[in-house]
Amino acid sequence: MITPKAGIGRQEREGTMTRTIAEKRAAFRALHEQGCFILPNPWDVGSARMMQHQGFKALATTSSGYAWSQGRPDYGVERDDVLAHLHALVPATDLPVNADYESGFAHEVGDLAANVRLVVEAGVAGLSIEDIRADGRPGFYDIATAVERMHAARAAIDQADPAALLVARTEILLRDPSRVGEAIDRLVALADAGADCLFAPGMVETADIAALVRAVAPKPVNLLVIRPSLTLAEIADLGVRRVSIGGGLARAAWAAVMRVGEGLRAGSFEALAGGAAYTQLNDIFDGFA
């Protein structure tokens, strides 16, 4: 049984959470100061608690994983859905949580700032803002507009709680992997606009990763693992501070569900034999009761 720690002041507590929001934000910032850590991406309370049980130091939500858990495609959920998700997940774990906040669910800068304040109030230790357009039009914001939006997000966080960490994401490499130079230029500009951590999903070549790390130093870089052949030690040697897997964990879980379902539809129950033991899962989650 996890019990509250003594002498930590006001408890923002529901279920297992014994750290205050301030403590989680401080711990999250400390993780970015040296070394390299894995930031797994659970999609609900159960998977978040499993990651805590397995010994990870922090978590990040996943827009795709959460959307799939709701029976929707990625980018198929609304701001209030995500806020409700965070209000359930953040207090359910002692680990700091970084929110995948897409493009802030707002096109206008004032609305973006208001939405950033809402997600900080949900207790997250950090949040990411993408450069994908939020007005229903395809494509990305130009650098000047992306910088203006980052300034607005930074100011909103500073007003709510400067301890919350701001991550700038450019998504252009997921659409066109050849635009590495542009991605780096964008992130340099966004770092100057107040981002604490920089992230270019789709960056895979080690030389490009190292170039991004140098370009935004001393600010930390997040790497989304796309090529599983790289080890954590090799990634750390490139200067990356944190490593996430996006929807990878959720995709692995859905692959298991699909595999078992296909067997059941064919009249076979053999795939069920590979499942975790009932008692093991019950014991793990009983520790959070």
Structural domains of the chain in order of their starting residue, each with its CATH number: 21-246 (3.20.20.60)
pTM beyond cutoff 0.75: yes
Mean pLDDT of the chain: 93
Q: What is the pLDDT of residue 127?
A: 98
How far apart CA 115 and CA 124 sit, in angstroms, is 13
- Report residue 225 as tokens: 């693992």
pLDDT value at residue 178: 96
Q: What is residue 227's three-state secondary structure?
A: coil
* pLDDT class of 17 with cuts at 50, 70, 90: low
pLDDT at 265: 97
Given this model, what pLDDT does residue 7 score? 28
Is the predicted pLDDT of residue 94 greater than 70, yes or no? yes
pLDDT band at 228 (very low <50, low <70, confident <90, very high): confident
C-alpha–C-alpha distance, residues 40 and 35, integer Å: 16
Distance CA 193, CA 81 (A): 28
| Burial category of 128 from C-beta neighbours within 10 Å (exposed 0-12, middle 13-18, buried 19 and up) | buried
pLDDT tens digits, 51-74: 999 999 999 999 999 999 999 999
pLDDT at residue 227 in the model: 85
What would the mean pLDDT of 135-164 be, rounded to a whole number?
Answer: 97
Map residue 37 onto helix, strand or coil.
Answer: strand
Give yes or no for residue 113 having a pLDDT over 70: yes
Averaged pLDDT, 247-266:
97
- The mean-pLDDT minimum among 6-10, 187-191, 226-230 falls in 6-10
